Amino acid sequence: MLAIPAIDLRDGHCVQLVGGDYSKEAVRLDEPLRVAQRWVAAGFSRLHLVDLDAATGRGNNRDLLREIITRAGVPAQVGGGVRTEDAIDTLVDDGADRIVVGTRGVEEPEWLAEQALRAPGRIVLAADVKGRTVVTRGWAKESSREILELLRELQDLPLAGLLVTAVQKEGKMQGTDLALMADVVDASPWPVIASGGVGSMQDLRSLEDRGVAAVVLGMALYTDALDARIVAEEFAE
């Protein structure tokens, strides 16, 4: 299993939110590029970049994303407000290795199919989940579908992976939603990337035991609850 540090961008800063709540910002760091370089120096081989402003219609951090993608020195998967073909093409042109598509991909499966066929093996679908219900638009809107239903609808698409975030666990470091992740792994035809709630090495090992291919790490790294170098060494692939 591969561990991937998250770099969530808001107002030009690197931040961490608690429980997906924009009013509960627990971490705010200047110079996100330096943060990215710190994780690379610790031994991580991939980064997960999210433009929170673009995801919520508050603007964007496009220039900063481009700088991190270009200068960090490792592949990056990039998401947040990616809702047009042009946005996907821009990120590809900027050097993003994989493009993470959330809201529009969930709300418009036909559009997601078009993009997956245009760029096979490059699109990661982000499914943010509260309980078992998929939410969109920066975790603000509940869809009418549960996660396993969504997977059944999309199972034939040539996606690079499925990123599942347990929103109610996000940023709390109180353990992951293992039952959710196990069910998703069983149902998904694509590698599953887990996010939300990791606070210990045992959480990581439990996810690996359930067949998760990768995990995105945020708060636990930023608060030093996890030792970055130890995580990068044990969860390198």
**pLDDT exceeds 60 at position 139:** no
Percent of the chain with pLDDT over 90: 78
**pLDDT exceeds 60 at position 141:** no
Q: What is the largest CA-CA distance in the chain?
A: 42
Residues 77, 97: contact at Cβ < 8 Å?
Answer: yes
Beta-sheet pairing, 123-130 with 133-136: antiparallel
Please report the pLDDT score of residue 142 as a whole number: 61
Please report the pLDDT score of residue 168 as a whole number: 75
pLDDT (tens digit, 9 = 90+) per residue, 185-219? Answer: 999 999 999 999 899 999 999 999 999 999 999 99
Please report the pLDDT score of residue 136 as a whole number: 75
Residue among 51, 63, 89, 128 flagged as catalytic: 128
Q: Give the Cα-Cα-Cα angle 90, 96, 99 (nearest 5 degrees).
A: 80
**pLDDT exceeds 90 at position 178:** yes
Mean of all residue pLDDT scores within the chain: 92
Q: From CA 72, how far away is CA 35, in angstroms rounded? A: 9
Residues 127, 103: contact at Cβ < 8 Å?
Answer: no
Residue among 8, 53, 177, 203 flagged as catalytic: 8
Q: From CA 144, how far away is CA 156, in angstroms rounded? A: 21
Q: Which residue has the higher pLDDT, 170 or 141?
A: 170
pLDDT level of residue 113 (50, 70, 90 thresholds): very high
Strand segments, DSSP code E, in 59-177 are 76-79, 98-101, 123-130, 133-136, 141-146, 161-166
Residue 111 makes CB contacts below 8 A (sequence gap 6+) with: 104, 105
Q: Which residues pair with residue 193 across a beta bridge?
A: 163, 214
Does 128 participate in catalysis according to the annotation? yes
pLDDT (tens digit, 9 = 90+) per residue, 9-20? Answer: 999 999 988 766
Find the domain containing 175 and state its range: 2-234
Residue range 81-110: average pLDDT?
A: 94
pLDDT (tens digit, 9 = 90+) per residue, 57-88? Answer: 889 999 999 999 999 999 999 999 899 999 99
Q: From CA 155, how far away is CA 150, in angstroms rounded? A: 9
**Is the torsion defined by CA of 176, 48, 130, 61 positive or negative?**
positive
Helix H or strand E segment including 154: helix 147-154
Scanning the structure block, which residue is given the tokens 């039952």?
179
CATH number at residue 215: 3.20.20.70
Please report the pLDDT score of residue 22 as a whole number: 75
Please report the pLDDT score of residue 103 as a whole number: 86
Residue range 115-134: average pLDDT?
A: 92
Does 8 participate in catalysis according to the annotation? yes
Residue 134 makes CB contacts below 8 A (sequence gap 6+) with: 106, 127, 128, 142, 143, 145, 146, 147, 150
Q: How many domains does the chain have?
A: 1
pLDDT (tens digit, 9 = 90+) per residue, 145-161? Answer: 899 999 999 999 999 99
Give the 3-state secondary structure of residue 220. helix
